[in-house]
Amino acid sequence: MYSVNFLAIRSVSGWITTLAVMVLVLFGVSTATYKKGLEELAEQSSVQLDLFVLYLRGVLGKYESLPEMLARDKNLVGFLINPGGRERIEAFNRYLQTVNDISNASDTYLMDKDGLTIAASNWQDERPFVGRNFSYRPYFQQAMKGQLGRYFALGTTSIKRGYYFAYPVRLEHEILGAVVIKIDIDSVEKSWGYHDATFIVTDPEDVIFLTTRPDWRFRTIGEISPRTLALVKKSRRYPDADIQPIAMRRIQDYPFGKVINLDEQGGTTSATVLQQFRVMDEAGWNVHILSDTRPLRKRILATNVLVGSAIMISYLLLTVLAQRRRRLAEIKRFEDRSRQALQEANEHLETRVQERTAELVEANRKLLSEIQERKSTEDVLRRTRSELVHAAKMATLGQLSAGINHELNQPLAAIRSYADNARQFLEKGRKIEAAWNMAQISELTDRMAQIGIQLKEFSRKSSGKPEIVPLHGVIDGALEILASGILKNKIAVHVRIQPENLQVSANQVLLQQVLVNVLNNAMQAVESCHEKEIAIDACVEEDRARIIIHDSGPGIAGDHVKEIFDPFFTTKQPGQGLGLGLTISKRILKEMGGTIVLEPAESGARFVISLLIVDQQNENEQ
């Protein structure tokens, strides 16, 4: 919206400026065209005016010398001295008529020294000059002074405008009279009337007597003073003429003339004309030409239309060009901006890609090193585990062999004493006592054989595969292994299995190892306690057997609860434990589909082992 307004204002101001420039230029062009046109018009008019003056001079010059020639005629002199009778006068009139006809003048006549016309070429006209006195006419007075008299006037008798040449007729030095030739100058108007320009001939008082505009005849150019008017009237040059000024207003003077405004048709319209004039001294005339300036105005109008159109076209062209240039510049700016934005986006993207690549490379590197670390940790763990499993096996073996040793030594010692007793009873002949002792020996060997069977089982069933394990047997086996420690420390062990024949799915040797571990921990826990009790409870819960080993020891401190299943976590003295017993037990149980957890207890530690039970019936069916 804002930009639209701005553009509109800009275009309006552009238009106003163009219009202002156009007005100024057109004004300048008009002025120059007007001045130039006026000069040209003045030049043309000047030529026409000169031609007109030349024409007038020709008209006058043709007759100028005729009176002088006639004045030298002896007949004229003689006639003036003695006009004679009627016949002589008539004959002289005829003579003057002939001269007048030949010279093509208007009238030719002879005046005596008193101004009386004594002979005239128009003696036969209705109003002949003969007998009339024209002594008041200046041309007569000039002639009587011995000069060539010249005058123009409206004929008082003929009521025709004419130009008069008068020359004195002399006898010796005496002036007898004057011969006068009147020229009809009406024809001048006719022969120049076809011109566009108006020609005017005025007398020294600015009264127009010759003009190509008949309505201006006997009017004045400009105001005429009453004194001049009185003079004109007195000279009787234009008898009965109503002398009125032509309404005109001078506009401007130029070296070549002046521009005036004329009121036409009673002031309803006006015309502007260029006025130029020449002075014809010899005739006492001012010859004017009034040239119409209307063609000039048309020319100015045409020039203005042309220049105005050129300006408008130039302005439109310039506007279009400017718009085009602006649009191109805008497109270029837009392209530059887009290019820059694209470049920036590219650079940004590159930087991001580089950053992300670096991050990814770093993450990859970290991942690789983590994988490497994990791998090596796993290796270490695997190694450690296998070593530990081995160590645990060895420890179990050690405990087992200690148990075996203990189990075997006792019966062996008993067998020895029973054998000694039997020998002594035999020596004494007490066969019954000897036989009882022998029976004891036999029983003891059975027990020893049982230990052998257990060992055999251990070696045979270490494959790790799950099997049906009677819980009672495996718990007894574990307690058997730990029996020496239990006895030594006088620990009370309570075993409750519900139902008695509860069987679980497990690996017997490994389960026994787990039980040995857990029970061993319990034994160690109760060692220093006053009441040394370990309770082993087994029951069924849904499809699983719960084996609860609860001791009367100090229990496990709250901080340690979460850590006891972690590898190498131990609170025992160095050499007493590695902190792997529970870890391995958990693992072994997991492999068998079982679990081991520490359950909260009021006192002591309460470990719960959960294993899948094997239904007695199912097993039989199998």
Regarding 112 and contact with ligand ADP (CB under 6 A), the answer is: no
60 binds ligand ADP per the rule CB under 6 A = no
Position 556 contacts ligand ADP (CB under 6 A): yes
Ranges within 588-617 binding ligand ADP (CB under 6 A): 605
Interface residue with ligand ADP, options 14, 83, 470, 577 (CB under 6 A)? 577
Type of residue numbered 46: S
- Residue 554 phi/psi, 5° resolution? -75, -10
Backbone angles phi, psi at 518, to 5 degrees: -65, -45
Q: Tokens 């994988």 identify what position?
A: 371
We find the least distance from the C-beta atom of residue 391 to ligand ADP, in angstroms, to be 11
Rounded Cα gap, residues 118 and 124, in angstroms:
14
Question: Using CB under 6 A, which residues numbered 268 to 287 contact ligand ADP?
Answer: none
Residues with Cβ within 8 Å of residue 279, at least 6 apart in sequence = 285, 286, 287
DSSP classification of residue 610: E
Burial 24-59 (b: 16+ CB within 10 A, else e): eebeebbeebbeebbeebbeebbebbeebbeebeeb
Residue 578: name the closest of 341, 420, 390, 301 by CA: 390
Binding mask 478-517 for ligand ADP (x = CB under 6 A): ---------------------------------------x
The residue within the footprint of ligand ADP, chosen from 188, 441, 525, 592 (CB under 6 A), is 525
Instruction: Give the list of residues 6+ apart from residue 166 with CB closer than 8 angstroms, or none.
Output: 67, 111, 137, 139, 140, 142, 143, 148, 149, 150, 151, 178, 179, 180, 181
| The binder of ligand ADP chosen from 564, 588, 596, 613 (CB under 6 A) | 564
The Cα 272–Cα 263 span in angstroms is 9
221 binds ligand ADP (CB under 6 A): no
Q: Which stretch binds ligand ADP (CB under 6 A): 64-72, 231-239, 448-456, 565-573?
A: 565-573
Does residue 293 belong to the site contacting ligand ADP (CB under 6 A)? no
Residue with tokens 């006719």: 190
CB of 377 to ligand ADP, least distance (A): 20
Tell how strand 161-171 and strand 245-246 pair up.
unpaired
Residue choice 78, 138, 579, 593 for contact with ligand ADP (CB under 6 A):
579
User: Which token pair is 185?
Assistant: 């100058």
Least distance CB 578 / ligand ADP (angstroms): 5
3-state SS, one letter per residue, for 501-531? CCEEEECHHHHHHHHHHHHHHHHHHHCCCCC
What's the rounded Cα separation, in Å, for the pair 515 and 393? 14
Q: Minimum CB separation from ligand ADP for residue 517, in Å?
A: 6
**Count of residues engaged in binding ligand ADP, rule: CB under 6 A:** 20
Q: Which long-range contacts (CB under 8 A, 24 or more apart) does 459-462 make?
A: 461/507, 461/508, 461/509, 462/509, 462/510
- In the complex, minimum distance from the CB of residue 397 to ligand ADP, in angstroms, rounded to a whole number: 17
Residue 441 Cβ vs ligand ADP, minimum distance, rounded to whole Å: 40
Select the span of 379-387, 432-440, 536-544, 580-588 touching ligand ADP (CB under 6 A). Answer: 580-588
Among 511, 514, 522, 611, binds ligand ADP (CB under 6 A): 522
Report if residue 339 touches ligand ADP, rule: CB under 6 A. no
CB of 561 to ligand ADP, least distance (A): 10
Residue 581 as a binder of ligand ADP (CB under 6 A): the answer is yes
Closest approach, Cβ 445 to ligand ADP, in A, equals 36
CB atoms within 10 A of CB 282: 12
- When binding is defined by CB under 6 A, the residue of 503, 521, 552, 610 that contacts ligand ADP is 521
Q: Which of 221, 260, 486, 578 binds ligand ADP (CB under 6 A)?
A: 578
Question: Binder to ligand ADP among 570, 593, 608, 616 (CB under 6 A)?
Answer: 570
Q: Is 547 in the site for ligand ADP (CB under 6 A)?
A: no
The residue (of 445 and 603) whose beta carbon lies closer to ligand ADP is 603
Tokens 């006891």 correspond to: 564
Q: Which stretch binds ligand ADP (CB under 6 A): 18-26, 62-70, 437-445, 521-529?
A: 521-529
Query: Measured from the CB of residue 404, what is the shortest distance to ligand ADP in angstroms?
Result: 23
Contact 189, 180 (CB under 8 A): no
| 264 in Cβ contact with 35 (< 8 Å) | no
Can you read off the two tokens belonging to residue 85? 């009778």
Binding site for ligand ADP (CB under 6 A): 517, 521-522, 525, 551, 553, 556, 564, 569-572, 577-583, 605
